[in-house]
Structures are given as structure tokens and as C-alpha cells.
Amino acid sequence: MTQLQDISSPMTALEKRAILSLSSIYALRMLGLFMILPVLSLFTEQMEGATPFLMGMVISV
């Protein structure tokens, strides 16, 4: 027989830990992304044959 969890009860410790882990991974990924994008756009401007379209493609990939 399985136990049903009361909907009004707070999250369990395991659920809180899982949410904290996932949100930390996502936050670090976004931090890294937003740290590299400005540098990448400045770097690509100096490359030979760079166009705004190609810079956009590099950033989107």
C-alpha cells in the first residue's frame, strides 16, 4: 500500500535538495553564458570576414 502525501504539507527535504541542485546548475550555466557573450561579440568583430549575421550565428550556436 502506498502513502499519499497531503497537498497542504510543505516540501520534503529530498524535494528541497533536488530543487536547490537543479536551480544552482541552471544559475551557474546562465552566469557563464552571460559572462562570455559580451566578450565573444567583441572578439568576433576583430575576425576577418565577420558580419553581423555570422556573429549572430556564433552566439546562437
- Residue ranges per domain, the chain? 36-61
Q: Is the pTM for the entire model greater than 0.85?
A: no
Q: Is the pLDDT of residue 2 over 80?
A: no
Instruction: List pLDDT tens digits, range 5-38.
Output: 667 768 888 999 999 999 999 999 999 888 988 8
28/37 Cα distance (integer angstroms): 14
**Residue 1, helix vs strand vs coil:** coil
